[in-house]
A and B are shown apart, each in its own frame.
Chain A
């Protein structure tokens, strides 16, 4: 089986996704950064492995972190897929492309997540952006618009930093190990 290294990397990336929230909270950063493992796995192992990491992170995160997480498994899958595909076409070769793709990922994530937050959770996901939803609702927007706007004002920043941190981490990784992954040639 050729893909054994990618398969063994997935559970580690999932575990990192799940515990990185603790570090972010400890540093009191106004970000989530909980898809950093998904992005790194997507870039190194490929889009499908990235998508699988995203889905499994959110499904298993439902047991450890929040019951709301499994509903966003689709969003996480798209984040992993996008990171994998974009690195394949050279999106991780220049710093400005990384920033741009981070922002695009954030916009896509906000668009996919908004209907879930609205129709499943009634606009409240118990995340830090709930205050933004209330703010946009108070400006006269309907619930879906308020949730979408709150997502668009927070997700692109979060994913921008996720991509930047992911890129720095990959660049600092020992070449001997990185070369064993198929995505090493795309960096």
Chain B
């Protein structure tokens, strides 16, 4: 029974390509997403958006993120559609048709499409942040870059605390409801219920603060000098080249923004 060395297992050591990037490359990619959505003028954006989306599609496919994107879109698509429809109400120029009180305007439609595409790009960016960047990487980058260590501590701690606090809220809810807390009724009754639910969170947070402060002091958190880390960041010549290229592209976008702001483009 045990002579088969290839036993079925759920363990997989496959790491998707998007996770293998150096954290600085990842940060530059995120800035690229932000610049693309904020800096490009609407008339130019509509013109180059097919190229942007073609590159994004190929990139998502290459980095094995396409399935993640499609999965997330299943949830977010109704919101994006709602956003698109709402935009139609704002720009009342060039009526295309109207049925009863529903009017469709060409300017509103154009604005809706542009906003939809921009949010889609931003959405891919945030999907990338959420999946590709780990807290260990951020901390390692902050430590290697000689930034203030407490910035790394804050970011990492939020990732640790959030699930703990969510579990605490659940417990507080159960406890307060069993004690007879009223949560249904008019707005005053519901507003009154807010404090018994949130106050215990802050009280336990204060106790937690004291414990954390003591443990950080004991661990020499503010020790001035080089610290060692078990986690090492991997980098390569190809990654460095990609970073240089991305940096150049970000600079071009920044220059474009300045030129459009000054009215030259």
Contact = CB atoms under 8 A, between A and B. Distances in A.
Interface of A: 1, 4-5, 7-16, 18-20, 22-24, 26-30, 33, 36, 40, 52, 56, 60, 62-64, 67, 120-124, 126, 130, 134, 137-138, 143, 161, 165, 168-169, 172-174, 177-178, 180
Contact of B165 (A15, A137, A143): A15
B90 A18 contact: no
B155 A60 contact: yes
A134 B92 CA distance: 12
Given A124-B83, A172-B199, A177-B206, A63 B129 contact: yes
B187 A29 contact: yes
B154 A15 contact: no
Contact of A67 (B87, B123, B164, B202): B123
Identify whether the interface residues of A are mostly helix, strand, loop, or mixed.
helix
A36 B161 contact: no
B155 A56 contact: yes
Given A19-B165, A36-B198, A12 B209 contact: yes
Contact of B205 (A12, A28, A122, A138): A12
Contact of A134 (B89, B166, B203, B210): B89
B130 A63 contact: yes
Nearest to B157: A11
B190 A14 contact: no
Given A29-B191, A161-B191, A174-B206, A20 B198 contact: yes
Contact of B86 (A30, A36, A130): A130
Contacts of A122: 87, 90, 111, 115
17 contacts: A5-B210, A7-B216, A11-B160, A12-B161, A16-B202, A18-B162, A19-B169, A23-B169, A27-B183, A29-B191, A40-B202, A64-B162, A124-B86, A137-B89, A161-B191, A173-B202, A174-B203
Contact of B126 (A9, A13, A63, A137): A63
B155 A177 contact: no
A23 B162 contact: no
Given A27-B194, A64-B162, A67-B126, A126 B202 contact: no
Nearest to A57: B158
A143 B107 CA distance: 14
A27 B157 contact: no
Contact of B153 (A11, A23, A60, A178): A11
Contacts of B191: 27, 29, 161
